[in-house]
Amino acid sequence: MRGFSPRELRRLMKRLGLEMKPLEGVLRVTIEAEDKDYVIEEPQVLVMRMRGGETIIQVMGRIVEKEKPKEKVEISEEDIELVMSQTGVSREEALKALEEAEGDIAAAILLIQARKEG
């Protein structure tokens, strides 16, 4: 099976209703996920438009993953006292468990109980 020349490929794409153009001057592409960002430095970007208005963007380049810093959860004094009263631990232990559980009181209590049993 023979391949297509760039000219034949352009004609075929035009007949199929595909328009493909490079996007010039792009310095960086960032994809934001919940726990990390994916950064493509010095990317090559192609924009393909199809009949019906749908657009496909193709990005090529070197990907760098960047972890997002975890947001520190604000823990109220009431939450600390509740965990202390339910588990009988010190303020420091209750605070540590709440921080590990990202402010979830029930999870902090279960974490302390598991530590006591283990």
Domains parsed from the chain with CATH numbers:
7-67 (2.20.70.30), 77-117 (1.10.8)
What is the chain's mean pLDDT, rounded? 90
Contacts of 107 (CB under 8 A, 6+ apart): 101
Confidence of residue 90 (pLDDT cuts 50, 70, 90): very high
DSSP code at position 77:
H
- Asked if residues 94 and 108 have their Cβ atoms less than 8 Å apart, the reply is yes
Give the pTM: 0.52
Residue 1 above 60 pLDDT?
no
